Structure 1
Amino acid sequence: MKKLSSPAKTHKISTLILTELEYCHVINKFTGQVNLIEGPYRRIKYLWWKKLYGTIREKIIIKEGQYATIINPHDSKKRIIKHGVREIRQGPCIFSLYPGEILEDGKIYNNYVLAHDRGLIIRCIQDYREDEIMHKAGDIWMRKGPMIYYPHIYTKIEKEIEAISLGAQDGLYIKNFNTGQVRLEKGPQTLMLTPFEELYYKHYSIAEQRALKILGVQIDASRAIPLKLETEEIAMINSGETQRVEIGPKMLLLEPFDRLKTLIISGKTPKMPNILTKWKIFLGPMFVSDQLCVRTKDNAELLIHLRYKTRFNIDPKNLKKIFAVEDFIGYATETMASIIRQEAAQHNFEEFHSKAAELIEPVLFKHDLTYFRFDENYFEIFGLDIKKILPQDAEIANQLNAAIKSNMDVYVNKIQQTAQLEAERQLVEGRIEIEDTKQALYEKELANFKFKEIGNAKIEAEASIERTRGEMESIQMRESIVNQGEELHLKNTLLLLESSTTEEYLRLQQVKSFQNVEKTVILPTDSKIFVPMGDINPYGQKKQTSMI
């Protein structure tokens, strides 16, 4: 964009030479008329009554995609200047300014190439009709992309706007300056402000900035700050005259006029007021450390390091009561310190130092309760741990440390001796257990041997019984065969009796009677004789003879 200067002075000329891209204005000193001369132009000897009005200037070149606004444009047909009129000239083109024409703002502008996420806020400066729509002076509207926009002669571009993208946990404050209404737009979405809307910048108090840890940090106040509530965390939000309590886990986005309930509580050890600024409370259980000085009955000062175990025992129907005490930590620790100091004043140094926990816990947790409750805000202390207790006086502290060290040495030696005796006892018990195991093993082996012998005896007895049973069966079988033989003999005898005469029967009986008589035969040594060994057996069969 180039600014072009306006003619201001006249110069006497004798020679005038203009290139193709130059022009100038010449004034007639008699008539006062100013004329336009455009290049290319050359005149060696110029008329003495004409003078150069202003300077030689370059022609205005408007490229493709550009435009310029001309004030008081020249009407080439009527050859007059239209004073008070504006004209839009679009590129590509090249022209010279006639006398009286003015390039608005001395600039050439690029056309508006609008993407889908961009738009223009346009103001009407004079009544006109466009696309059967009547625009009145002062009207404001918006044109959205995608498009290429050339301004109208009776409009003015107020500003170019861009769509705003919001994520899932983002929020944006927007104000309608016609109605004054302020709203919160939540993501995920993409939005574009209307001509009557603007961003609203939320104000945070100093306490809120400290609680949110944004004090001194440059932030975009038009965007809502995501507030994350974890499990067992609680926060209170003031919305005008109403209050609401939020319990985690959840993500919060404050409305434009919401205010956080901030708590300024005690911190550090020992506890000091106005240390921490919180916008949310952890319901617990949590640990709170403190350190306090007490004075005993014998006027000895002790420094006690404590750690409390705390929680909020909430009532779901009255959650707002949790925020009734702003500095609940300071209030609780001061109350505990007062009770402990009062108890310490009733005991001497040695007793309180050695039995601090035994003396303090019954006082804090009375009536067989395991907690100390603050009814103002449901805050409870249900555990106490005395981490360290030391005299305030350095000399006494050193003596006490020496005594404690000596006692510790004795205690360690005792533990070592006990451990050694225990090791010896376990060794003896181990040996006894080994011997018992060996004895049990011997008894088991003996029982196994007896079981084996009994088993073998049973097997042998069963085998003997089987052998005896076999022998008996064999005897019975032989007896059965003998009986069958005798029976056969009797049958044969009966058959013989039936078939033979009485003489034959007698002779047979005689032969049988001689069968068992020993016979002696004397023979010479050189003789041979065949002796029948019984011609017929009792069964009627012949026998073989023997040779002697």
Structure 2
Amino acid sequence: MGSNIIGLPPHHFVHIIDFNTNVTKLEVGPNTVVLQSNEKLQAGPLPCIVVPPAHYCIIKDPMSNYVHGKKCELRLGYFDVRFHGEPFPLYPGEVLQGARSFGTSASDTNYSQAIKPLPVVKANHAIRLKALQDFDDGGVERKAGDMWQLEGPLTYKPTPNADIVGMIKPLVIGHNQALLLRAQQGFTDKDGIEHVTGEEWLVRRPGAYLPDVYAEDVELRNAIVLTENVALHLQADQTLVDSIGTKRLAGEEWLITLKDTESYIQDVGVTVKASISKTVVSRGQYCVVLDPQDKHGRNQMGKRELRKGVCSFFLKPGERLEDGVIKQSYIMGEDESLVLKALDKFEDTVAETKVKRKPGDRWMINGPMEYIPPIDVEVMDRRKAIPLNKNEGVYVRNEETGEVRSVMGPCAYMLKAYEVLWNKELTDSVELLLKHGGGYGKEDIRKIAYFEQSIDPSMLKGRDKTRVVTYRCPGNTAVQIYNYKKKTARVIFGPDLVVLGPHENFNVLSLSAGKPKKPHALQSLCLMLGPDFITDILEVETSDHARLSVKIAFNNYFQVERGNPKSEASIFNVPDFIGYACSQIGSRIRAQVAQIPFDQFHRHSAQIIKTAVFGYNKEGNVNEVLVFPSNSMVVTNVDIQSIEPVDVKMKDSLSKSVQMAIEIATKSIERSAAHEAMRSEQIAKGQLERQKLQTEREAEIERAKLYELRNIAAAVESTGQAKAEAQAQAEKTLIEAQSEIEVAQLKALAEQIEHNAQLHTQGILRSSELSFQKSQNELETSKARELTNVEISKFSSIVSTLGADTLAAIANSGPETQAKLLQGLGLESVLITDGNSPINLFNTAEGLIGATKG
């Protein structure tokens, strides 16, 4: 019975179901509910839902037109939003959205998660909403899926028709910043501007900005600060009007500088291609701008524009510097010039007279001057005068005629407009010979040392091919030079300097050298005229078949008539005159020796060889010289240096016989030398004895002189010692006296200094005491004066405080009152005097009172 009675406290409710009608009814307390037999407690008792201020809750499937105990309609699928008000129960079928559980008792139910605070939108913030169904929002028709937002500050009350998408925070746009937005779909923004899907635009207004619902923030762009030296190269991706109000076509490029704006934020549809630095052309500089822009901003393709310093500019789009650099002007000295070439027809005004130049013309301008070439002029070359000393020169080629010539010093030669330096090529063998002074051999050849005097140190580092080739021809030699252009040859005799013309070259001699002679062992530029000698080793065979090696040397010279071209050229008719002479002389010697036996040749070899070489004249006498008419070479003498058998046995037997002859001659020489040595020894002994006697006599005389000098030295020594001791004693006494005097002077000086210091110290002490006493007196005087002023001020303050009426009343009250008055004033009834006239304070009081009355 007790279980069918339910006591409901206030603000509680239960749901009871009637099984007969299948209707669930709501009972709200305070009340006592008695369950009938056909009723059952379905839910409860449950507390009513209390929505605090600034909170809300959502009821799902709300009840409409509830009648107690009757069937009612539930709006299934709908929601109802409840705000702060009286506590309310849940009707049967209603669901509190967000509640964690819904049991049969209060302990099973938790409403805290279902009751939510109202969304508060701060200033510069917004709440974004989305329509769940079509509805009328205060005169605005909302369609399902529409999105909008409400800007703060406000407190939003949710509705069942809209869902909260989220809170939108503002985007802060700083100074020199802009916000790039993109439209997600077509809409009209809050400023009334229509946007299409995918459109992008910039918001430049500084501060907090709330983007529209369908505006997507892409990026926050910072401004690029422009200076005097920095500009921006821009390109339009689409046709637009830029931030400075100029219409730009798609693909157009332009430059924006500080004259246009101080800072630039990249516009929509504009690409910043590069940051351009200002091009500064200083004094003495220039540059050529290719494809410059005209006043309409169009590039003049193929045109060149000259800009001279001092100037500065930005390269506009499409413009570029020729060679990519700023060029220095040509500053020429007195010995410098420029070779110029006209690229187009123009009028040259550099000179005093105007000259019309045609394309391809070439000319020169000379310094001193500063020159900047015009657009129509190309600088072909910069030239400097070539200083040429005596015997120095250069090869010059004329490009118009092709003629090559040599220019010799002393002078400073400046090449003409159509002239260039020409390289003279020489063969490798000639180059090698010039480095070695004109001669080069493969072996240790005697004649190589003769060419060392002609070595030019500058040739060791490498020859300048534009310089005239010179060769210092040694003395008593001849050099043949061949001109290939004129097909003539000339001969130069040393000592002289050989200067090669542009079409000339040396006649290189390939000579035999070595012992025995080997062909082509010595290369030479010059021919030695002699007198000289040639050494060779010949192998001969006697009539008795004795083979001998003969080393001969013969003197030679060339018989030439200087000034006669035919005679001069004849000495070079035989290229290898050494090999030719050795072969001719060798053949003559071999022919003569072949007719003579060895014994005869061994005894008369010199006469036989000389006869073989020079031959006999018509008178039957041996000739003195041998002349080679082919090259005018003359052999004057033949000398045999050695003869050695080629056969080893014969060489040994000849060596033994020679050795025996040498031994016999040696013994004879030894015996005669021994006899001469004995005779010389006896003579030397006699001279030695006489010298000894003479030396002893002179020694005795010198010894006597020595004893005499010793006696004199002893006397001087004794006298000098006594004198020195007396002088030392006197100086000692003098020094001691002077020392005592100096000590006394120093003591007196020290006492005087000490006395002065004491006086000074006492003076400073007395001065300090006087200063201190003076300061003390001044302080005491100041203190007394200040105390007096304080008393006067105190008395004046008391009098002014008491007032005139009070003082009058006191004055009328008699002497007793006067005494009290004085006590009140803090004064005693005594006489105050300055030492001369006493003052009665009672009279003073009366005077004060009288004065007050008056």
Q: Does TM, scored on the shorter chain, surpass 0.5? A: yes
Where does residue 230 of structure 1 map in the other structure? 474
Instruction: Give yes or no for the alignment of 1:18 onto 2:18.
Output: no
Matched, 1:219 2:463: yes
Q: For residue 215 of structure 2, what is the aligned residue in structure 1?
A: none
**Which residue in the other structure is 1:138 paired with?**
360
Matched, 1:376 2:376: no
**SS state at 1:402 partner:** helix
Unaligned runs of 5+ in 1: 1-11, 427-548
Equivalent-residue separation in structure 1 for 2:220 and 2:315 (angstroms): 21
Task: Label 1:210 to 1:107 Cα distance change in 2 as closer, same or farther (>3 A).
Answer: closer
Contact 1:18 1:38 in 2 (8 A): no
| Structure 1 residue aligned with 2:46 | none
Q: CA deviation at 1:247?
A: 2.1
Q: Which residue of 1 aligns with 2:508?
A: 262
Is 1:115–1:146's contact at 8 Å kept on the other side of the alignment? Answer: yes
Per-residue deviation at 1:200? Answer: 1.3
Q: Which residue of 1 aligns with 2:496?
A: 250
* Partner SS for 1:180: coil
Q: SS state of the match for residue 265, structure 1?
A: strand
* CA pair 425-347 structure 1, distance change in 2 beyond 3 A: farther
Measure how far apart 1:409 and its partner are. 2.2
Quick check: 2:226–2:263 contact (8 Å CA) kept in 1?
no
CA offsets per residue over residues 280-301 of structure 1, 9 Å max, x none? 2111100111011111222221
- Return 120-129 or 242-251, whichever deviates more: 242-251
Query: Is 1:198 matched with 2:420?
Result: yes
Pick which of 380-389 and 315-324 moved more: 315-324
Determine the C-alpha separation between the residues in 1 that align with 2:558 and 2:369.
61
CA distance in 2, matches of 1:243, 1:49: 84
**1:216-259: per-residue Cα shift (whole Å, max 9, x none)?**
97422221221223332222222232222222332121111113
Contact 1:63 1:93 (8 Å CA) reproduced: yes
Q: Which residue matches 1:175?
A: 397
One-letter code aligned to 1:47: D
Counterpart in 2 of 1:158? 380
Instruction: Determine which of 269, 280, 285 is the counterpart of 1:49.
Output: 269
The amino acid of 1:48's aligned partner reads V
SS of the aligned residue for 1:74 comes to coil
Change (3 A) 1:329 1:401: same
Q: Taking structure 1 as reference, are residues 247 and 44 closer, same or farther at Cα in structure 2, changes over 3 Å only?
A: closer
- Correspondence 1:425-440 to 2 at 5 A: none
Distance in structure 1 (CA, Å) of the matches to 2:391 and 2:264: 77
CA deviations over 1:481-527 (Å, ceiling 9, x no partner): xxxxxxxxxxxxxxxxxxxxxxxxxxxxxxxxxxxxxxxxxxxxxxx
Query: How far is the alpha carbon of 1:81 from its aligned partner?
Result: 4.4
- Which residue number in structure 1 is paired with residue 530 of structure 2? 284
Rounded to whole Å, the distance in 1 between the matches of 2:576 and 2:231 is: 82
CA contact (8 A) 1:14 1:47 kept: no
Amino acid at match of 1:18: V
Aligned ranges for residues 377-392 of structure 1 at < 5 Å? 377-392=631-646
Matched residue, 1:457: none
Give the drift of 1:189: 1.2
User: What SS does structure 2 have at the residue aligned with 1:323?
Assistant: coil
Identify the residue that residue 110 of structure 1 maps to in structure 2: 328
TM superposition shift of 1:310: 0.8
What is residue 665 of structure 2 aligned with on the other side?
Answer: 411
Letter aligned with residue 154 of structure 1: D
What is the CA distance between 1:424 and its match in structure 2? 11
2:582 pairs, out of 328, 333, 338, with 333
Task: Tell me if the contact between 1:72 and 1:83 (Cα under 8 Å) persists in the aligned partners.
Answer: yes
Residues 12-33 of structure 1, C-alpha deviations (whole Å, 9 max, x = no match): 9944413422112223321133
- The equivalent of 1:74 in structure 2 is 293
Query: Which whole-Å CA distance do the structure 1 matches of 2:575 and 2:264 have between them?
Result: 95
Report how far residue 347 of structure 1 moved. 2.4
Give distance in 1, aligned partners of 2:610 and 2:679. Answer: 39
Corresponding residue of 1:34: 253
2:645 is aligned with 1:396: no
Partner Cα distance (1:195, 1:308) in 2: 59
Aligned partner letter, 2:667: N
1:222 to 1:385, Cα distance in 2 relative to 1, 3 A:
same
1:118 Cα deviation after fit: 2.0
CA contact (8 A) 1:211 1:262 kept: no
**What is the CA-CA distance between 1:180 and the residue it aligns to?**
0.8
Q: 1:49 to 1:208 in 2, by over 3 A?
A: closer
Matched residues in 1 for 2:266 and 2:611: separation? 120
CA contact 1:13–1:51 (8 Å) conserved in 2? no
Q: Which amino acid aligns with 1:362?
A: T
Q: For the structure 1 residues 294 and 382, does the alpha-carbon distance in structure 2 shift closer, same or farther, using more than 3 Å as the test?
A: same
- For 1:97 and 1:147, locate their aligned partners in 2 and report how far apart those are by CA, in whole Å: 30
Q: Deviations over 1:445-491 (max 9, x none)?
A: xxxxxxxxxxxxxxxxxxxxxxxxxxxxxxxxxxxxxxxxxxxxxxx
The separation in 1 between residues aligned to 2:435 and 2:535, in whole angstroms, is 24
Helix, strand or coil at the partner of 1:138: coil
The answer as to whether partners of 2:511 and 2:520 remain within 8 angstroms in 1 is yes
Report if the CA contact (8 A) 1:60-1:94 is conserved.
yes
Relative CO higher for 1 or 2, CA cutoff 8 Å, sep ≥ 6?
Answer: 1
Displacement after TM superposition at 1:191 (Å)? 0.9
Matched residue type, 1:322:
I
**Following the alignment from structure 1 to structure 2, what is the Cα–Cα distance between the partners of residues 407 and 13?**
124
**2:604 is equivalent to residue 343 of structure 1:** no
SS of match in other structure, 2:667: helix
| CA contact 1:305–1:389 (8 Å) conserved in 2 | yes
